[in-house]
């Protein structure tokens, strides 16, 4: 099981720890994924110690159906805010036609071992799903995603 640390040295999630998303954040991620279908979307979540989730949608400069490249200025602004507030980092993107599992490209490009990588899938348009993963040195461990009360 992979365990990682945040840049501030605090312990962070293991694959056994659920990624807890409130219903509003879940819906916002799905809405963002649907907003540019068939193209992938991307962004960040910053999670406070009390569980408050901050959603930072970021422009996919590639505007591609199979890959994403976060706009560098928006990414820098979002990362600075997350780091300045010592929030847990979640990097997300969508898969519009495939399951919510990291592709070989996703795994190869995973550059933040302290991050959780979330994927929103619209493969089943009537039942979108979000799955989360820790990706460290090419190893992929899934984290459960929970929406309280559901």
Q: Give, in order, the Cα–Cα distances in Å from 33 to each of 27, 28, 41, 99.
A: 10, 9, 6, 13
What is the fold of 20-146? Cytidine Deaminase; domain 2 (3.40.140)
Provide the pLDDT for residue 150.
85
Rounded distance, CA 117 to CA 45, Å? 10
Integer Cα distance of 24 and 41 in angstroms? 18
86 neighbors 111 (Cβ within 8 angstroms): no
Return the pLDDT at 12: 63
Domain ranges across the chain: 20-146
Query: Can you read off the two tokens belonging to residue 19?
Result: 């990624």
pLDDT per 10-residue tile (average), the chain, 150 residues: 44 79 97 97 97 97 95 98 97 96 95 96 96 96 94
State the CB neighbour count (10 A cutoff) for residue 43. 26
């Amino acid at each position: 099981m992979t365990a990682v640390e945040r840049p501030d040295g605090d312990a962070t999630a293991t694959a056994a720890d659920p990624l807890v998303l409130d219903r509003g954040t879940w819906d916002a991620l799905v809405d963002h994924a649907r907003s540019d279908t068939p193209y992938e979307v991307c962004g960040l979540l910053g999670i406070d110690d009390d569980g408050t989730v901050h959603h930072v949608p970021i422009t996919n400069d590639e505007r591609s159906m199979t890959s994403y490249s976060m706009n560098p200025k928006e990414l820098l602004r979002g990362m600075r805010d997350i780091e300045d507030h010592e929030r847990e980092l979640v990097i997300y993107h969508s898969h519009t036609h495939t399951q919510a599992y990291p592709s070989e490209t996703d795994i190869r490009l995973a550059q933040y071992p302290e991050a959780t990588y979330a994927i929103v899938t619209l493969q089943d348009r009537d039942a979108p799903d979000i799955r989360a993963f820790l990706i460290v040195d090419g190893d992929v461990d899934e984290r459960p995603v929970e929406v309280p009360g559901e």
